[in-house]
Amino acid sequence: MLRSVSRFAALLRAFGRVFGNRNVRNIQLAGAGDVLGTYAYGVALPVYAYHAGGARAVGLLFLARFVFAALASPWLGVLADRWSRRRLMLGADLLRCGIFAAMTAVAATGGSAYAVYALAISSTIISAAYPPARAALIPSLVESPEELTSANLVGNSIASVGMFVGFALGGVLLAVSTPAVVFAVNGATFLVSIAFLLRVPADSPPERVAHPRFLPELTTGFATVVRWPALRTVVGLSAAQAMVEGALMVLVVVLALQVLHSGNAAVGWLNAGMGVGSIVGVGAVAVLASRRRLAGGFALGILLWGFPLAIAAATTTLAPAIILLGLVGMGVMLVETNGMTLLQRSADNEVLGRVFAVLQGLIFASMAVGAGIAPALVTWLGPRGALLAAGLFLPVLLVPTWPA
């Protein structure tokens, strides 16, 4: 007991060091600006697509976004290990500002939905450059493994608050305005991210012990993941979780509009429930980290991505569905924080960007599969059956894949 208290106190001290580290703090605040609008946009885009073409349009749009992002991720991971990671993040933010200005103009003037879809796909591809660069940059800014865990926890805590506020903001804005307004808000938040990134000193590209040709360099991340069993487990289960996440992006709209019959704003409230749950999940991550149980926390997160979603199939009113998605939100925090820290501690800095690019590429590909099959699940099994099937997938998969 005393040992756990002392470890938890040490973790809190590491939290203090993270907030006292100006560079890490600015990276985290840049992420806050990025996350806030992105989650509001995550409510508006599927609603826009649903009203333009139904659940099929939502599924196909997310399928296309994630397929192209998955294909681009390995190439962008090479850039994260060749270029300044800060500069890559700044470039991604600048390009997305322009894209969302164009998306706002098209949606506000009643332009073609296909133009909005094309811009959304372009934004997702460019966004794929940001997380690997950020995840690979943070270890060079901290001073200890405990501070690295805390930096990831702080980052995911900020993301959780941004998820809650962003989803709620998206729901409120949709209730009183149009998706075009939400698109404009998202574009503006990238300017906030740029302002904080400019306060971080320029970094140098990682030193390379060898200079291989581009194709072997491109596949190094895959080879690293395949070679290490721990990396294979974390990356594989994260990809499976992403498949359920992709399906949920479609199913949450179906849950709100077809199962609960609660209107467009309910999409925002259900997603906001996930945001609140992820904030609560910060405490669970802190306790598990104080006991150095990163792997156990990761597995618990995988389970929380499954069972509550299966139970949501039986709900008939909005409130219990929000609570259940809150439990899923706890799983989000556990999976992302523990998974990221396990990868950062296991891979060398020289290939870290490419390892995270492999993870992100597989996540995008899995989300594409999930988003693509979700409408078919709704057709075959009905809305409630689709939710049940999606919820049972991860618990069933965890048993044979988790190391003994």
Amino acid 356: pLDDT: 77
Does the pLDDT of residue 325 top 80, yes or no? yes
Question: In the chain, what is the straight-line distance between the N-terminal and C-terminal CA atoms, in Å?
Answer: 27
Q: Percentage of the chain with pLDDT > 70?
A: 84
Amino acid 372: pLDDT: 80
- The answer to whether 353 and 81 have CB atoms below 8 angstroms apart is yes
- As a whole number of angstroms, the distance between CA 172 and CA 297 comes to 33
Distances (CA, A) of 309 to 51, 102, 237, 304, 322: 24, 36, 17, 8, 11
Does the pLDDT of residue 4 top 70, yes or no? no
CATH numbers and ranges of domains, the chain: 20-201+212-401 (1.20.1250.20)
- The answer to whether 271 and 43 have CB atoms below 8 angstroms apart is yes
Three-state secondary structure string covering 165-230: HHHHHHHHHHHHCCHHHHHHHHHHHHHHHHHHHCCCCCCCCCCCCCCCCHHHHHHHHHHHHHHCHH
Average pLDDT over residues 142-154: 74
Strand, helix or coil for residue 7 = helix
Using CB atoms within 10 A of its CB, is residue 105 exposed (0-12), middle (13-18) or buried (19+)? Answer: middle
Does the pLDDT of residue 2 top 60, yes or no? no
What residue type is assigned to position 229 of the chain?
Answer: P
Structure tokens of 146?
Answer: 């405990």
CA angle 121, 26, 19 (to 5 degrees): 130
What's the half-sphere exposure (Cβ side, CA atoms, 13 Å) at 152?
Answer: 27
Average pLDDT over residues 178-198: 90
Indicate the DSSP class of residue 317.
S
Quote the pTM value.
0.68
Candidate ranges 26-35, 106-115, 325-334, 367-376; pick with highest mean pLDDT: 106-115
- As a whole number of angstroms, the distance between CA 149 and CA 340 comes to 9
Question: Of 60, 64, 28, 58, which is closest to residue 43 (Cα–Cα)?
Answer: 58
Does the pLDDT of residue 7 top 60, yes or no? no
- As a whole number of angstroms, the distance between CA 360 and CA 242 comes to 10
DSSP line for 29-74? HHHHHHHHHHHHHHHHHHHHHHHHHHHHHHHHHHHHHHHHHHHHHH
